[in-house]
Structure 1
Amino acid sequence: MRYFPIFMDIQKRPVLVIGGGEVACRKIDMLLQADADITVVAPSIKSYLMNYVEEDKIHYIKGFYHSDLLAKQSYVQVWATTDNSELNHQVYRDAHDARILVNVVDDTPHCDFITPSMVNRGRVQVAISSGGSSPVLIRMIREQMETQLSSKIAMLADFGADKRNVIKQHFMTVDERRKFWETFLRSPEVEKLTTRNELEQLFSQYLSSNIETKAERNWIEYHQETEMLTLKSLRLMQQAEWVICFNDCPSEFVELCRRDAERLYVDTEQEIAEYLHQAEVENIRVTILLKKGHLLRNATLQAYLSSDIYVPTL
């Protein structure tokens, strides 16, 4: 993984854009959505951008780029969008010397950061990137996600933000709050709702009832590639509070489990049995990753497996 995924808060923070053509227009539209404080430097700019200047949405410095511009404000980002590669590379060097993050558009080797393809659902943003290697593939993935992610997600995200203080007052621990939201958002009733009022009513019902989570054991079989996992496997792996696996389990399977789940690596089946006993006492949801073809010999684990959820690989 060459590029570290990060969402950067640039609201009201100064950003410098070099160039005033079509490419600058596209980037400035995106930066405006993030409410950045944008300054454009160019001998001339498109009328599209001039409208922004007249509406006082962006600042415009009419003229040619020179390195002294970087010292005028504490810019957090610099964008080089001109069709002059020599000038763009000079901007790149100057920004590096000034220790400012820089992006030279369509020139990945001269970028400290790149912008992913985005799927937006209000507060929810899904970023997709191939590190600049396959933009057509990324566009196809984005198109698929656009059809799969409901517009209801935006409403749910806004609702969750509005109810943060209510939940903090009702539940004392982070674990209790997380379990409530998981139970509420995964409820079949939520799928049927279409309005905020309906969501409020359901929320009140769940808040007034006792949400109890029980111990749960899900056995996920893996084979050679992560693509062989079923959708059910991936869903259950995202619900785990503990992930138990043998030390030789490939990391790519473990990393598909919930990010904040505790990873428990073992050498023997007896260790798994001990962890599962503890999980049952503490009402913890566990995912156990088993390699395809592994035959359990421990009698306790065999008994668990006969009554648990086991999801084979494809």
Structure 2
Amino acid sequence: MRFLPMFLDLKAGPVVLIGMGEFLRAKLRVLASAGARIRVHAIDGNHHLGLSAEDAARIEILTGDPLAADLSGVIAVVCAGAGDIGVAMSVRAKALGLPVNVMDDLDHSSFIFPAIVDRGDVVVAIGTGGTSPVVARRVREKIEALLPARIGELAEFIGGFRKSINERIAEFPLRRRFWERVIDGPIGAAVLAGRKSEADVALKAIADPSEFARADKPEGSVALVGAGPGDPDLLTIKALRALQDADIVFHDEQVSGEILDRIRRDTTRVAVGRRVGRPGIGQDAINQRMIEAAQAGQRVVRLKGGDPFVFGRGGEEIEALRAAGVAYSIIPGITAGLGGAADFEVPLTYRHEATRITFLTAHKARDAEAADWSTLTDTKMTIVVYMGVSAAPAVRTGLLAAGRSPETPVGVFARVTRPDAQGAIGTLRDLPELARRADGGPAILIIGDVVRHTGSLRRQTPNQIISDLLDAAE
């Protein structure tokens, strides 16, 4: 390791920046965003730097020979696009013991600029010894995706209590354990979820911090996580973090194996959902097992296909957790209707054609028979039916009886966003046959004029394309 990563105190003094053009402005933006006071020598005479009024207030524009500039009190020198002046300035800065960076010139630099992940009080610096800034940026992108957006707020929150807690807990190991429990428990989760006032009340309510730190049983919690329709790349960053932090995951059967692979290897996995013809353990049993695990101090994830609050019984589970006094959080996912629409390029709304959307479920024929189809006959309404394959005949009967045209475009889309996704399009008259072509679920039905705009044929064989076009023409 040639360059030791360190953090420069920008309140200690100004930074001298020498250069010209976009190179100068790029480094200026970096320094200004960090809050530095800057003395700028634009050697091309162009002082139009394009900064906000707030940033400009911390910048001093200098003229004259930069090599003769007063460097007293300066904490660092940066040269960007300065040519030979940068080399000469490096010699002068090193003679004075000042850190100096000459852009793209390791021989004349005593420090380099890392790629930076900035989360307020939490800053991550990534360097490659100056050999490949592009690699450093790629690593930064990965870290950006993993770090919670409010991790800096969590650090700031802890900083506000650190002195008082240190005064109340003398032993360093016990103090460290206290903060680990705060960060990893419901208090830290509340801050990361944007509920800082709630976290503040909870931390102040800890009467004996030492006893809190010594407690054998950690505080458990439950995260209801939407797994999305199947593609693991559609998991939210927050969902990925929850899967990595979990001690136990209760997951639906239809959650794809690729998504389950994102769970930490040593995490316990329990399948609790049902499939067609294979009943699960029942909602009451799921609720009880989640509560028991959380009360035992475990970090629980309830992993549900799609979104927990769209036909996912998330509301029932939240009510059970509330009644039991278990801390919980909700991490939404992309619901299958939206995932399928994007996957097969079906715009659920379309200007002048479709101005309303209705989501409904028809897992069984009796669900479809119980629906009030008379409210769904507006031709400017798109209908998205979840779990509707087995009930497709009843869906067709209900809509036709209510007055919807048999020529209404319909699409049946199975295993949406997955590699084996398949779609079939036609008309309401042919809905049962289209559902049969889905060749296994889970599948959604999209009914309405918007289906005419679908790009789903890209997934079909030539024979399927011909068949669907004939169906649509009948």
TM-score over 0.5 (shorter chain): yes
Q: How does 1:42-121 map to 2 (within 5 A)?
A: 42-43=42-43, 44-48=45-49, 55-66=56-67, 68-69=68-69, 71-84=70-83, 86-121=84-119
1:140 CA drift (Å):
1.4
Deviation digits for residues 35-63 of structure 1, max 9, x if unmatched? 33311123413412587699432111123
Which residue is 1:185 aligned to?
183
Instruction: Give the superposed CA RMSD.
Output: 2.8
Asked if structure 2 preserves the Cα contact closer than 8 Å seen for 1:21 and 1:46, the reply is no
Report the CA distance between 1:174 and its aligned residue: 2.7
Output one character per residue of 1:282-305: Cα deviation in whole Å (capped at 9) or x when no partner.
xxxxxxxxxxxxxxxxxxxxxxxx
After superposition, the C-alpha distances for 1:255-282 in whole angstroms (9 at most, x for unaligned) are: xxxxxxxxxxxxxxxxxxxxxxxxxxxx
Equivalence for 1:31: 31
Deviation per CA, 1:72-95, whole angstroms, max 9, x where unpaired?
Answer: 5232211111252x2221111121
Whether the 8 Å contact between 1:40 and 1:58 is mirrored in structure 2 is: yes
**Aligned partners of 1:51, 1:199: CA distance in 2, in Å?**
35
Q: Distance in 2 between matches of 1:99 and 1:181?
A: 39
Contact 1:179/1:213, CA 8 A, preserved across alignment: no
2:21 aligned residue:
21
SS in 1 for 2:74: coil
Distance 2:152 2:91 in 1: 40
Give per-residue Cα distances to partners, 1:174-204, cap 9 Å, x unaligned.
3332121012112256335431112113323
Specify the code of the residue in structure 2 equivalent to 1:64.
Answer: D
- Contact 1:80 1:88 survives alignment (8 Å): yes
C-alpha distance 176-146 of structure 1, shift in aligned 2 (>3 A): same
Amino acid at match of 1:181: W
Paired AA for residue 77 in structure 1: A
2:138 equivalent to 1:144: no
Tell whether the 8 Å contact from 1:19 to 1:42 is kept in structure 2 after alignment: yes
User: What does residue range 116-265 of structure 1 map to in structure 2 within 5 Å?
Assistant: 116-187=114-185, 190-191=188-189, 193-208=193-208, 210-211=211-212, 212=214
Secondary structure of 2:49 counterpart: helix
User: CA separation in 1, counterparts of 2:30 and 2:59?
Assistant: 13
Question: SS of 1:125's equivalent?
Answer: strand
Residues 207 and 112 (structure 1), Cα distance of their counterparts in 2 relative to 1, 3 Å cut: farther
Cα separation, 1, equivalents of 2:7 and 2:96: 22
Matched position secondary structure for 2:15: strand
CA drift of 1:136 comes to: 1.9
Provide the identity percentage: 29
Q: In structure 2, what is the Cα distance between the partners aligned to 1:20 and 1:53?
A: 22
Instruction: Answer whether contact 1:42 1:65 (CA < 8 A) is retained.
Output: no
**Equivalent residues, number:** 214
- Highest RCO, 1 vs 2 (Cα 8 Å, sep ≥ 6): 1
Residue type of the partner of 2:27? K
| Structure 2 residue identity aligned to 1:132 | G
> Larger Rg: 1 or 2?
2
- Residue type of the alignment partner of 1:167: I
**What residue is the counterpart of 1:273 in the other structure?**
none
Q: State the secondary structure of the residue aligned to 2:66.
A: coil
SS of the residue corresponding to residue 24 of structure 1 reads helix
User: Are 1:119 and 1:126, in contact at CA under 8 Å, matched by a contact in 2?
Assistant: yes
* Higher mean displacement: 200-209 or 45-54: 45-54
Matched residue type, 2:39: T
Distance 1:165 1:189 in 2: 18
Contact 1:15 1:37 in 2 (8 A): yes
Give the SS at the match of 2:24.
Answer: helix
- TM-score, normalising length: structure 1: 0.61
C-alpha contact (below 8 Å) 2:106/2:130 kept by paired residues: yes
How does the TM-score come out when normalised to structure 2? 0.41
In 2 relative to 1, CA 134–33 (structure 1 residues): closer, same or farther, beyond 3 Å? Answer: same
Question: What is the distance in 1 between the residues matched to 2:10 and 2:159?
Answer: 20
Q: Quick one: structure 1 residues 42 and 64, their matched pair in 2 at CA, closer, same or farther if it must change by over 3 Å?
A: farther
Supply the AA of the counterpart residue of 1:13: G
Q: Provide the C-alpha distance between the structure 2 equivalents of 1:53 and 1:102, rounded to a whole number of angstroms.
A: 26
Matched residue, 1:306:
none
Matched to 2:59, the amino acid is I
Q: SS of 1:127's equivalent?
A: strand
**Would you say the 8 A contact 1:129–1:138 is kept in 2?**
yes
* 1:18–1:80 CA contact under 8 A, matched in 2: yes
Distance 1:152 1:49 in 2: 29
> Which consecutive residues of structure 1, in runs of 5 or more, have no partner in the other structure?
215-234, 236-314
TM-fit CA distance, 1:205: 4.2
- Structure 2, unaligned stretches of length 5 or more? 217-244, 246-474
One-letter code aligned to 2:120: G
Contact 1:119-1:125 at 8 Å conserved across structures: yes
Sort the Cα spacing of 1:26 and 1:207 in 2 relative to 1 into closer, same or farther, 3 A. Answer: farther
Cα distance, 1:163 vs. partner? 0.7
Which amino acid in structure 2 is aligned with residue 26 of structure 1? A
Residues 1:135 and 1:50: Cα distance change in structure 2 (over 3 Å): closer
Residue type of the partner of 1:18?
A: I
| 2-structure distance, mates of 1:49, 1:63 | 22
CA–CA separation in structure 2 for the residues paired with 1:27 and 1:4: 21
For residues 120-157 of structure 1, the C-alpha deviation after alignment (integer angstroms, 9 at most, x for no partner) is 11100011111111222221111111111111212211
- Which residue number corresponds to residue 10 of structure 1? 10
166-175 vs 122-131, greater mean Cα deviation:
166-175
1:179 & 1:93 partners in 2: Cα distance? 49
